[in-house]
Every structure is written in structure tokens, then in C-alpha cells.
Structure 1
Amino acid sequence: MYRLWWGLILLFIITIIYFNIFILGNKKVIIAFYPYLLGISGLLGLSLAGIYFTSDFSLIFKVLFILFFLFGVFTFIQICRNKQSLNNYYLERNQYLEQLTELAKTDTEYSLKDKRQEGISNLIERTSGLDLTINNQAEPIFKEEDIFAEMLAQLKEAEDHIHICFYIIRDDQIGQKFKDLLIKKAKDGVEIRIIYDRLGSHQLGQKYKGELRKVGIEIEAYNDLVTSILRGKLNHRNHRKNVIIDGKVAFIGDVNLGDEYITGNKRESIQVKIEGEAVSWMQKVFLLDWYYVTGDQILERRYFPEQNMKNRLPIQLITTGFDTPWSEMNKSYFALITAAQEEIYLVTPYLVLNDNILTALQTAALRGIDVNIITSKKTDSILLSWSNMSFFKKLLKAGVSVYHYQDEFLHSKMLLVDKEILSIGSANFNTRSLYLDYELNIVIFDQDFSNKIMEEITLNLEQSKKWKLEDYQQLGILDKLKLLIGRLVTPIN
């Protein structure tokens, strides 16, 4: 028993080291292989069980040596294979993107309001490769029931094609409504492609997918469990959420396809409906994802119809993923925060900050910017809630206003700067969104649109509890222990 306790303590220490080792190396590379590092921890756990049940240390050592050797070789091979495949895919992706861009080229001349906005736009273009678009119109949709109703209404109007990407698709009431409508549209001759994340949608059954495929709908998963393990990509997911209809109308935001957005512990969400030139870029992003999951490069002009939008609304997309060199979302968030001149409003369900984003927020508050962060008290994980709160102290000390949304699960992901620059989409302020997952946001450079979003943020503030530094300091020992645990597991959140 004595040896077992010491073994458990050793296991705990090694696990903490694994959770924090990313600080010492390239974050994308290290945190991508947590599943394999945790596998080694599992082997150590087996060794502890062996010590407890037998005294034949020679046998235990031989078995463990073989297991560790095989697992270590497997992990090393996966790292090498993954690095090479990422390089190859990134080159091929860029070549395909150039072809798509040439196919749907626009000659629109544009200029932004000031040098600050131009600087942010330049950063996005140089890291993501996505140009600013000007001729657009956009409408925010705030109620979840209205979001799904408007999506379904637009899907009914589809004449040529429908492209859908969700992290989660569920076989529930909402999922059935979408499935039935898509089947009807497919029978009417509309071409339909669907991408879903295999782990995010692990409960989606073969019956649901089979009914779609039976009528000619193409539905493909981003990396199933076995493929993810063999390719070293278990920790990489496609977290994007977008719908494109006929290349003319698109939806982007934070909703997945499931009843949890309208029933039970509802997820408070925002979706943006877009028409205009920005839809063409959303189409390109979808086709790049389709190329990843199928290997098919689609180059047809009909997916990029002429956009006759005369309304002026500057919109630029930001894509990010584990296979790109710039950590685009991280850099864009950093640029937006440091560009603020008056105020910042950050809304996110998951507040797991890396050093540079944390420093940027602290610095903004210390130089007199009104920095406000709204995060959800209710999340889908106790550990995530603890992780969120573990950052409150450093933020409060710098003068950041921190709010806990009390009503339901606040699922929106937004960064609003000076009520004139807005980033909104699928990316959270956490490790997964900044380094691991495929994400898609839009940045809108417009005061009128930002004011509409600010009205919703004001409602969120009214339903939130504002934290004070003394509130944090008065937490009990048990609460502080929870926050310590939350901080230890932040690298995997």
C-alpha cells in the first residue's frame, strides 16, 4: 500500500508536467499530442496496478519496457508523419485557394475608415490569405428559435446548391427538421454537401446519414476516432459553423444543429446572415474543408454567382487551424485588443487565456481602456467553469471588469472594439480555438452594425453578476482548490 501511494503521487506529478509542458515548446506541436502523452500516463497507471497486485518486479519492468517502447515509437512516428502531411497539405491547400480566388476574382476598390482598421485588415489578409470585401449586407439574429427558422426559410429557397458545416449535428427535433427539408430539396435537384465533425457529432447514427445519402446528399465527417489517432490528430477538430445557399446567402455564428439551443439549459447564441461578396469567401473556405475531408478539388464558376450587392458593409473572414503557420485567430484577437482606443467588450463561454492575450487585456485596462469581459457561469463542463474563473484575479487586479452571465449558457463568441470593429463566429478565447481547431470568424468594420450587437451585449450585462477583486479574495479554501485544478487543466481546454 505504501508503494501504491507513492506511485499515485508520482502519477499526479507527471500528469501536471504533461499538462504544462507546452510552455516549453511549440504550442501547436506539444498540445496536439496530449492524447499520446496521456496514453503514457495510462501505461504508468497500469504499472501501479501491477505493483499493487504482484511482487514480481522483474516481470513488471519487462512488460512496461516493451509497452513504453512501442508507444514511444508510435508517438514519434506519428509526430514525423503528421508534420510532413501538414506541410504537404498546406502547400496543396494554398495552391487550391489560389485557383478558387482566380475563379471568383473581384475588382472592387475599397478603403477603410482609418489606418487602424486598415492595419487589422492587412494582418488578416497576410495571415489568412482572405481579402476584405466591401459590398455586403448583414443581419444579426439573436433568438435561437429565429436563427433556425431563418436558416430553414433560406434553405427552402435554394435552387442550385447547399453547403453546410457544423461541429455538432444531432438526430433530434431540430436535426430532423433540417434532414427532412434537405431530403426534399435533394429530390428537387438541389446539390447538397455536408461536413460534420466526427467526434463532435459522435452520437449521430448511421440511419440519419443513410437517409441523406439515399437521396444523393454528400455528407462527410472530419476525421473519425481511428483516423484521428492514426494521423496524430485526435486533438484537432473542425469547429466551424456555417451554412451557404446558392453562393448568395450565408450564415455564420456559434450555433450547432441541436435542440440544446432551444430547450433545457439553452445556449444563448448569435448568428449573422450575410449577403454579398463575403459569401464568396465563405464558399471558398467550405470548399477547402471539403477538399480536406474528401480530396476533391471543386472548380466550377457556378458556385460563385455574380454579387450585385450595392450596400457598403466591410466584412473580412478569418480562418485558423492547426495546419497554418500564423495562429491567425490568436493574432487577430491580439491586434483588436491592442488597437482599442476607448473600450473593449469580450463575450465568450470559455475564458482560457494564453499569456499574450492575457497581457494585452491587462495592458489595455492599465492604459485606461474600458475593458469588459462577459463569460458564462453555466458551461458544459465543471472543469471549464473552474478554468474560466482561475483567470479572474489577474484580470481584476489590472482593472478589467469581469461579469458572470447568470441566465442559461452564454455561447456567443464576440470581441467588440470601440463600437466599430466586431469579430464574431465560432472561435472561443481558449487553447482549442487559438491553436488546435479549425475556426471561422468574420470581422465587420461598421459602427451601425456594431451598435446592434452592443444592444445585445447590454442585455447580457443586465443578466450578469459583476465580480470585484474582494469577492475573489474572499473565496473559501475549497473554491480556491477548484480554481487551482482549473488552472492546471487549462492547456487542454
Structure 2
Amino acid sequence: MQLYSFHTLVSTLIFLIYWLLIVATTLRIVFKRRPTTYVIAWMLIIYILPIVGIILYFAIGEAHLGQQRVKRAQQMRPTIAKFIQRLEDFPDIFTTKVSQVSKPIFQLCKHQTGLDGINGNHIELLSETDEIFDRLINDINQATSNIEMVFYIWNEGGRANEVENALIAATKRGVICRLMVDSAGSRHFIRTNASKRMRDAGIIIVEALKVNLLRFMFRRLDLRQHRKVAIIDNYISYTGSMNIVDPRFFKQNKHIGKWVDIMVRMNGPVTTLMGAIYASDWELETGKYLALPQITDFAEPPEDKKHIMQLIASGPGYTENMIHQVLLTAIYSAQEQIIFTTPYLVPSDDILHAVVTAAQRGVEVIIIVPKKNDSLMVKWASRAFFSELLDGGVKLYQFNDNLLHTKSVLIDNQLSLVGTVNLDMRSLWLNFEITTVIDDAEFANSLSILLQKYLSQSDPVNVSEWKKRPIWQHIIERLFYFFAPLL
């Protein structure tokens, strides 16, 4: 009888602890004030897979940066604030004379960062892989003081080896070279002879956000350093969708063709801000202070009305939801046309509704996605949004043959957003990302010509044909739609 009572007591305690865990986790999810679909998805996972669901949530459900990194981020804030104050000593760098469609975004940026539009920049759109490599390698060969890079993926082979050789040669000339690569995206490269050769030559290589199962209680495992940035001599900078990979050698076993990317090459005051973002990332990852770039090069009045820009950086430690806010503002500002390119289309409810609303108020909305995708889950989750977009009047196109990896938004042939941001939850809420906001009709025209080329290589998704797809596809789409807020 006593044994039975003891077992009953233990069972009751286990049951009570289990439900307390469920209730506590549920309240934690609700109080985070995330999108409704995100909350519902996690609650279903926790209730269907009780213990496993709770472990998964604390492993990948929140943007845990880790206590050490949080402390570093807090310590850096006064330094960044002083840097912004110093920038304000050079008022000619900034302007409020922006186009009508861009004005709401620049007002938002001013409120969030304290900076107006950055004036006097020279920007080039680079859309051919060889052209991108040629320009980057040439700039590395001309470097005299320092080179800073951060890339999600570095893959050995082809023209990536030429970048490696150029960096090694630069180091031999006395140029300081620093490279951050993401631990997950570049896991193969970190263990290759190429990485060893670069380290042996004196290149400082940092493995960002190391993947380690023992760390999952302290930092979210799938929080990634997704930026693609190169800075040369604090004067020239690059960003965009391309990693340091040669498409001829990268993921060819996936049978998705070659990756199609773009980069923007910039020089001017905006590179100073890019350098500050890199210095913040470096200190956040390594704990070592990296001197912020000097502003004296831009103390003279820059060329008037040449490529007005802003840089939007996101990730833990940065203004929360900033890129999401910028995208929403851009969509609601559009009056004539919006063209998106994204390899991964898993939008938030807010962006989905904004896009459909834009189409219904007469704006031509075009979204170009790849027909083939390297992520099976994302491919099917994306298709779950097609019906609502098509019914709302959005024009969907699927890019043929190769994987369209370009991440861009073009608004009214005037405002361009180009960077590392996908239209998915991971980019919008979690990863370290960066995007350029460019208010310039000349640059927009270059981007428009490229997007028309993409459209000529794409097939439109026909509404009536789409509705005739097999029932099994409906089922798979809805299944992966369930996981959409978690992708």
C-alpha cells in the first residue's frame, strides 16, 4: 500500500512538473509578441511533441545570442553612439532631399538610427559572376592598408581560389586581412587546406557563431551570420547576395543549376558606415576591439545628389525588426510597381498582406522565385503562399534552369533594396543580415534592366492551371506551411 502511494505521489509530481513546463513555455511564447502564425506553430509542436517540443523551442525558438555576446553588445553601444555623433559633425554627408517614394523609409531610418540619407556615394550593380570576381580581386590587389570580409559561405574551387591567392598576396604586402565565415555555411571550408594556407599566410580567420550541440542551452543553434560584405581600405565596399563560391563548382550535386547572384560595389561615405557595422560584428564575435573607420576622407562636401543611400543591419544586438519595418514601409510607399526577387519565399503575415493590398490598390506586384530550390522544405512552404498571392492579383514568375539567388526589391523604378535578405522568417527575424537602400533613378534603371532579363528567363504561374495541381501537392504544401514560421 505504501509502495502504491509512493508511485502515485511520484506520478503526480511528474505530471505536475510536466504541465508547469508546458504552461511556462506557452506563456513565454505568448509574451514574446511574435506573429500569430509563429506562436500557433510552436504551441502545436509543444503540445503534440511535449518534451521534445520544449527542448526544440529553447534550442531554436528564440534568438539566444549567448550571455557573453549580449554583454559585448551592451558594452559596444556607447562606442557606436559616439561614432554616430561624430558623423553628425560632417553635415554635408547627409541629406533629406530624397524622392517621394523613398521619403518614408529614410524618415524611419532617421528615427531608428539617428542618421539621414547618406549622400555622395558611387555605386555599381554587378550581375555577372566573372565580373564580380574580377572587380573584387582587382580591388584586393590594389589594397594598401586593410581588408575586412564576412561571408556566410566560402567554398573552395574555381575563382574562389583566385580570391584566396589575392588575399595571401595582399598579406605579404603588409595589408591586414580579416575574414569572418559562418560556422554552418562554411563548415567544409574551415577544415580545408585552403583555410590552413590562408591562416599560415597571416590572414586572420574567425569562425562565427560556432555550431556546437553543447551550446544550444546558451545560444540558438540556427542563428547565423548571413552577411556578405567586403571592405577594402575603408574606401570601397561590396555587399549583395553572392558568397565566395564559383557557381561551376558549388552544389552541383543538387541538380539545381548554377546560382545567379548580384553584388553592389560602393565607394563614398556609406563605406564608413559599413566599416562600423563590420567592427561591431568583429567585436561581438571575438571580444576584440576593432578601430572604427576614420571619417576624415569624407570631411569635404561630397558630390551632390549622387546615389543617396542607407545601410540597414539586422540581428541580435541591432534594432529589432528593422529590416521587416523597412520592407513594409517600402511596400506601402509604392504607387506604380514592385518587383521582388528572392530564392526563399516564406513571408510574414504582415508582408503577405501588404503585398496583396498593394496589388489590390492598383500597384503592379511581381515576385520572381526559382523553379528549382536547394531547400526542399522551403520549396514546398513557398508554394503554400502561391494561391493567396495569385488570388490577390500578385504576378508570380518561376525562374528556369538555374537557382535565382538574387535578393532585391525595386519600387516605382526609383527605390532599390539590394542585400542579403530573403523573404523568409529567418532573414526577417533572426539572422545577421544587411541590405542597402538606394534612392537613385539611374541605379534603379540598371536593376530594372536586369530584372527584365530575369523575367524573360521565367515562366508565369497561371492561376487556373495552378488550381488544377494534384491533391497530393496541396497536402504537402499545407504540411510544410505548418513549419513556415520556423523556417
194 and 41 in structure 1: CA distance in 2 versus 1, 3 angstrom threshold: farther
1:57-68 aligned within 5 A: none
**Residue of structure 1 aligned with 2:197, choices 211, 227, 235:** 211
Q: Which residue of 2 aligns with 1:275?
A: 267
Which of 120, 124, 146 is the equivalent residue of 1:161? 146
**How many angstroms does 1:179 deviate by?**
1.5
Is residue 394 from structure 1 mapped to residue 388 from structure 2 by the alignment? yes
Q: Give yes or no for the alignment of 1:231 onto 2:214.
A: no
Deviation of the 1:357 alpha carbon: 0.2
One-letter identity of the residue aligned with 2:425: T
Which amino acid in the other structure matches residue 365 of structure 1?
Answer: A
Shift of 1:425: 0.3
Residue deviations 1:160-208 (CA, integer Å, cap 9, x gap) = 1001010011222233222221111101100111111111111113433
Q: Distance in 1 between matches of 2:62 and 2:377?
A: 28
Whether the 8 Å contact between 2:69 and 2:284 is mirrored in structure 1 is no
Offset at residue 135 of structure 1 (A): 0.5
Return the alpha-carbon distance in structure 2 between the equivalents of residues 209 and 280 of structure 1.
Answer: 28
2:459 to 462, 465, 471: 465
Q: 1:91 aligns with which of 57, 69, 74?
A: 74
Task: Name which of 112, 134, 137 aligns with 2:97.
Answer: 112
Shift of 1:433: 0.2
* Equivalent position to 2:169, from 184, 198, 201: 184
Answering whether residue 465 of structure 2 is matched by residue 480 of structure 1, we say no
* 1:222 maps to 2:208: yes
Residue in structure 2 matched with residue 286 of structure 1 by the alignment: 278
Give the match for residue 428 of structure 2. Answer: 434
Q: How many angstroms apart in 2 are the aligned matches of 1:79 and 1:389?
A: 26
2:157–2:249: 8 Å Cα contact kept in structure 1?
no
Contact in 2 for aligned 1:246/1:303 (Cα 8 Å)? no
Task: Quote the Cα distance in structure 1 between the aligned partners of 2:86 and 2:289.
Answer: 13
Alpha-carbon deviation of 1:258? Answer: 1.3
Q: 1:80 to 1:123 in 2, by over 3 A?
A: closer
- The alignment status of 1:375 with 2:362, answered yes or no, reads no
1:26 and 2:24 aligned: no
User: What SS does the aligned partner of 1:135 have?
Assistant: coil
Residue 4 of structure 1: aligned partner: none
3-state secondary structure, aligned to 1:247: coil
Aligned length: 445
TM-score (norm 2): 0.83
Greater Cα shift, 303-312 or 285-294: 303-312
Matches within 5 A, 1:230-379: 230-260=217-247, 264=252, 265-299=257-291, 305-306=297-298, 309-310=302-303, 312-379=306-373
Contact 1:240 1:426 in 2 (8 A): yes
Identity of aligned residues (%): 25
Local SS of the residue matching 1:475? coil
Q: Deviations over 1:88-114 (max 9, x none)?
A: 444323222123334555321523234
**Aligned-pair RMSD on alpha carbons?**
3.2
Rate the CA distance shift 1:181–1:356 in 2: closer, same or farther, 3 A. same
1:147 to 125, 128, 132: 132
* Equivalent pair of 1:261/1:268 in contact (CA under 8 Å): no
Shift of 1:490: 1.1
Q: Using a 3 Å threshold, how does the CA distance of structure 1 residues 23 and 398 change in structure 2: closer, same or farther?
A: farther
Task: Note the C-alpha offset of 1:468.
Answer: 2.2
CA deviation after TM superposition for structure 1 residue 389, in Å: 1.2
Q: For the structure 1 residues 81 and 469, does the alpha-carbon distance in structure 2 shift closer, same or farther, using more than 3 Å as the test?
A: closer
SS in structure 1 of the partner of residue 423 of structure 2: coil
What's the secondary structure of 1:448's corresponding residue? helix
User: Quick one: structure 1 residues 471 and 329, their matched pair in 2 at CA, closer, same or farther if it must change by over 3 Å?
Assistant: same
Higher deviation after alignment, 140-149 or 226-235: 226-235
Task: For 1:102-141, list aligned pairs within 5 A.
Answer: 102=85, 106-108=90-92, 109-128=94-113, 131-141=116-126
Alignment partner of 1:202 out of 153, 171, 187 = 187
Q: After the TM superposition, which of the residue ranges 301-310 and 204-213 deviates more from structure 2? A: 301-310
Shift of 1:115: 4.8
SS of 2:221's partner is coil
Q: Which residue of 2 is the match for residue 3 of structure 1? A: none
Is the partner of 1:155 in helix, strand or coil? Answer: helix
Once the two structures are TM-superposed, the CA of residue 407 in structure 1 deviates from its matched residue by 2.7
* Structure 1 residues 61-76: aligned runs within 5 Å: 75=58
- In 2 relative to 1, CA 273–301 (structure 1 residues): closer, same or farther, beyond 3 Å? closer
Deviation, structure 1 residue 400: 0.7
Residue 100 of structure 1 corresponds to which residue in structure 2? 83
Q: Is the contact made by 2:425 and 2:486 (CA closer than 8 Å) also made in structure 1?
A: yes
Q: Which runs of 5+ in 1 are unaligned?
A: 1-17, 46-67
Aligned amino acid, residue 473 of structure 1: K
Structure 1 stretch displaced more, 118-127 or 314-323: 118-127
Answer whether contact 1:103 1:301 (CA < 8 A) is retained: no
